[in-house]
């Protein structure tokens, strides 16, 4: 996976992923969330999300992007 893909905006998201995001109706737990692009979209729609990852760097990026519910496993 190329690094720029981790920072795509919703317009660039593949259709299958857009469908999954559209169907989510409750709190979403993102596992292995890299840069948190999907969480940012859900947050912009007022949906609660929580992100976990084993990478300290990935969680730091999520926190810098305003995803306060991002935690290192």
pLDDT digits (tens, 9 = 90+) for 15-66: 998 999 899 888 888 888 678 888 888 889 999 888 899 999 888 888 998 9
pLDDT band (50, 70, 90) for residue 13: confident
With beta carbons less than 8 A apart as the criterion, state whether 53 and 31 touch: yes
Round to whole Å and give the CA distance between 71 and 73: 6
pTM: 0.76
Strands (E), the chain: 28-31, 49-53, 70-72
| Predicted local confidence at residue 5, as pLDDT | 64
If you search the block for the tokens 């692009």, which residue do you land on? 37
| Predicted local confidence at residue 56, as pLDDT | 92
For residue 2, pLDDT over 70 is answered with no
| Predicted local confidence at residue 15, as pLDDT | 93
């Amino acid at each position: 996976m190329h690094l720029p893909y981790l920072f795509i905006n919703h317009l660039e998201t593949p259709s299958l992923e857009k469908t999954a995001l559209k169907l989510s109706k409750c709190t979403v737990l993102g596992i292995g969330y890299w840069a948190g692009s999907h969480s940012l979209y859900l947050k912009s729609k007022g949906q609660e999300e929580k992100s976990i990852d084993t990478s300290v760097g990935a969680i730091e990026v999520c926190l810098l992007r305003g995803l306060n519910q991002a935690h290192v496993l």
